[in-house]
Chain A
Amino acid sequence: MFSTALLVSRWLFIALLIVPVGAGIVAVLLPALSYFPAIGEHHFSLAAFSRLMQVDSIVHMAMLSLFTGLMATFIATVGTLSILAISYHTAMLGWVQRLLSPVLVIPHAAAAIALGFILSPAGWPARLVSPELSGWIAPPVVSLLHDELGLSVTIALAIKALPFMLLMALSVLAQPHLADRLQKQVCVARTMGYTPATAFLSVVWPVLYPLIRLPVLAVLAFATANVEIPLILGPGSPPTLAVAVLQWFNNVDIFMRLQASAAACLHIGVTGLAIIIWLLIEKGAAALFHRRRCTGARNFASWWLSVIAYFTLGTLILLMLCMLISLVTWSFATYWPFPDTFPLGITLIHWQTSLTALSQPALNALLIALPVSVIAVGLSLLVLEQEQISHRATVSPGLKKEAVLFLPLLVPGVAFLFGLTWFSQFIGAGVWLPVLVSHFVYVLPYVFLSLAVAYRRFDIRYTYVGYGLGASPYDVFWKVKLPQLFAPIMVALALGIAISFSQYLPTLLPGAGTIATVTTESVAVSAGGSRRLSAVYTLVQMIMPLIGFALAWWLPLRFFNPAAWSD
């Protein structure tokens, strides 16, 4: 009975990842090829594509997506490398990890809005230097926002990508056998006179990078195709390709949807191209490193790595502080003329208004996040248990499964989510089910990866002891493993909820705009005029996932912990 459930869960796991993405791609490909019976298009043709190619700025849009995505990934990768190089096996690493973990759960939209706050002409940094240093008595006309090159988009993407990559790298480096081996190898290199950073670069990084390549490519794919960040910070005419797809899709002219579908397909190509360019950059960098390594320079790149690491960390901390202070100040501000550093007074009115307005969106967000995360955690646990029971973990660490996990992260969401929306409208699935499925596809990979670390580290001998005491596999799973893994399970649940909270496009598209969550409302408000409301919405967006993590930290102290009850 239990073993059947485990086997079924494995297939369900793979199907739930492949089917929505696959169906989505097929359903976006058909209208792109002008096959769309609902509006009377029955013949395949390349008309939509040729119309797309006639759009003046199409190449510009594609290049913008390519550039922002590649740049953000590059910054995040170099940042990750340099920070690890200077902090590997020092106390600083734990400190960096604690500092960056909260950034990981800040929704992309919130990060973008917050960055917009400080980059805007009337932003807090501009006020700090005005009028004494800058001479501005009115907000400057030139703005860092919506710049033509998408630099602010790149910064926002990099802010979000860096903590993700760093934490992925740390979870790889925490694998017991690998950690032990690498630590000794670094030791050997150090005794040969290599500086810590150079030792890391030439000994650890070549082993580490291939193990985080998939997450890095996922970051790249995501960065090229993200919608909410360029929507909030990016240039307007022309926007990035993903934003253009969204605009055409929402156009009143239904025939524009064919062009939107063609553009969505083009986006798969753009993202694919970005990945190819990245792999080429990888090859070039590897060859360069190899040549330098052969010279045997003991401090190769050491100076640069520390400079970049401290610059990256410094910038990140400064940005985070500025963002937080700006948001909090704006959310309580009454009248606040430029260039005053602080508002003339404080008020609770914005919080009162917003919290009333946000109660339904917050409830909606929970109604989506809770079932999606609970199911994702449950399914991941069953799949991991199946893997452990069938001793597959010792053969190959679930390589195929891991590749499937990255499928929804590698295919641009803007492509398959459109298809999925078409598809669900076609079969009349309503709005809630498609939204739940879309969220699930994004939540499952993160939940699984987060649980897998703890599950695979679980000492299998506990299971054997359990069997020896006469407990069935089901009993061992339920009474021995799950309680002992309670803390990582709660963290995975909180992570799932945070990921679901942060989804913009997977809520907007399959929900046909009818399901409002805190994130969709927040993006909508950010386009409007009220800075104060926007500040509150963004803060709520940041606080909600943190509540989940606080619970995930507190609950294991109370439950399945006999130490809490005895003295």
Chain B
Amino acid sequence: MIKKNTLTLHSLSVSKDSRTLISVDTEVKPGSITTIMGPSGIGKSLLLAAIAGVLPATFTQNGSVCYDGAELTALPAHKRRLGILFQDPLLFEHMNVAQNIMFGMPQNELSKQQRADTLLADVGLQGYGQRAVQALSGGQQARVALLRTLASAPRAVLLDEPFSKLDMQTRHQTRCWVFDNIRQQGLPCIMVTHDEDDALDAQGPVITITQPEQDTDKLC
């Protein structure tokens, strides 16, 4: 049976020189946030890169990524429609705020400008559309980055340690806001992090990656 709007990783693994770095087999339901936990340097970000289709050529991947039962692995990155958010907002600095949000909107979408303005107003940034992105605060940029991703109507959202650069005060607030939005939109989401609090707030399944036994000595 094919489950609607579900992202599935079928024994997806990343290896280098025939040594497996990380391997995950899971199913992410719509509106649920699966957390992949583990110490830094273990290859969590590589796993996200493999899902998004941007794994560097020095690594190899096995297994597959499926959405609604259809395999995404064969598609190039830009056809997978998996929105990705990093710890930096990475807003395009040559575009203003509204242009950033419109960049990812589907081509047939009518009145993009109007929709961007509405989206901004919904998150308390009314009138910010024409501003330069550099003029926004860190928290505001993070919000625009999520709006940009959501406006592109992605199949799923990938979060790569998205809150690690925010300060303690805004972190919890931004985190809850991001998770609420993802849940409201019913999007499956995978987050990699080493922060326990991220996993707590995500209220979803947690996959903990530990160092493979034989490598512990070498890496410590």
Contact = CB atoms under 8 A, between A and B. Distances in A.
B78 A470 contact: yes
Contacts of B53: 467
A473 B78 contact: yes
A444 B44 CA distance: 40
B52 A391 contact: no
Contacts of B154: 468
A484 interface: yes
Interface stretch (A222-230, A371-379, A456-464): A456-464
B84 A464 contact: yes
B78 A566 contact: no
Contacts of B175: none
A467 B57 contact: no
Contact of B82 (A468, A480, A484, A563): A468
A395 B57 contact: yes
Contact of A462 (B90, B106, B158): B90
Nearest to A471: B78
Contacts of A473: 76, 78
Interface string A358-397: 0000000000000000000000000000000011101100
A472 B104 CA distance: 11
A464 B77 contact: yes
Interface in B91-143: 92-96, 99, 103-104, 106, 130-135
Contacts of B90: 459, 461-462, 465
B94 A468 contact: no
A469 B88 contact: no
B84 A566 contact: no
Nearest to B93: A484
A486 interface: yes
B56 A391 contact: yes
Nearest to A464: B54
B83 A469 contact: yes
A566 B94 contact: no
B94 A395 contact: no
A73 B55 CA distance: 44
A483 B103 CA distance: 14
B164 to A, nearest CB: 14
B95 A467 contact: no
Interface string B40-64: 0000000001001110111000000
A466 B148 CA distance: 10
A176 interface: no
Given A392-B57, A395-B58, A563 B94 contact: no
A475 B92 CA distance: 13
A483 B91 CA distance: 13
Contacts of A37: none
Nearest to A465: B90
A475 B130 CA distance: 22
A324 to B, nearest CB: 37
Contacts of B77: 464, 467-468
Contacts of A466: 78
B32 interface: no
B117 to A, nearest CB: 15
A469 B155 CA distance: 11
Interface centre among B77, B148, B149, by most chain A C-beta atoms within 10 angstroms, is B77
Contacts of B57: 390-392, 394-395
Contacts of A483: 92, 94-95
Contact of B94 (A469, A470, A561): A561
B5 interface: no
B136 to A, nearest CB: 11
- Chain A binding surface SS class: helix
Given A391-B58, A466-B78, A467-B53, A563 B134 contact: yes
Contacts of A565: 96, 130
A561 B95 CA distance: 7
B179 interface: no
A486 B78 contact: no
Contacts of A472: 78
B130 A566 contact: yes
Contacts of B133: 562
Q: Among A390, A466, A484, A561, which residue has the most Cβ atoms of chain B within 10 A?
A: A466
A393 to B, nearest CB: 9
Interface in A465-510: 465-473, 475-476, 479-480, 483-484, 486
Interface string A396-424: 00000000000000000000000000000
A469 B91 CA distance: 12
A177 to B, nearest CB: 16
Contacts of A391: 56-58
B152 interface: yes
A106 to B, nearest CB: 32
A483 B131 CA distance: 17
B172 interface: no
A36 interface: no
Contacts of B83: 468-469
Interface centre among B49, B104, B134, B154, by most A CB within 10 Å? B104
B81 interface: yes
Contacts of A465: 84, 86, 90
8 closest cross-chain pairs (CB), A and B: A469-B104, A467-B77, A560-B94, A563-B132, A483-B94, A562-B96, A468-B84, A391-B57
Given A470-B79, A472-B78, A484-B94, 16 more contacts: A390-B57, A395-B57, A395-B58, A462-B90, A463-B54, A465-B90, A467-B52, A467-B77, A468-B52, A468-B81, A468-B104, A469-B148, A471-B104, A473-B78, A561-B132, A562-B133
Interface of B: 49, 52-54, 56-58, 76-84, 86, 88, 90, 92-96, 99, 103-104, 106, 130-135, 148-149, 152, 154, 158
11 contacts: A394-B58, A459-B88, A464-B49, A464-B84, A471-B103, A473-B76, A560-B94, A561-B132, A562-B133, A565-B130, A566-B131
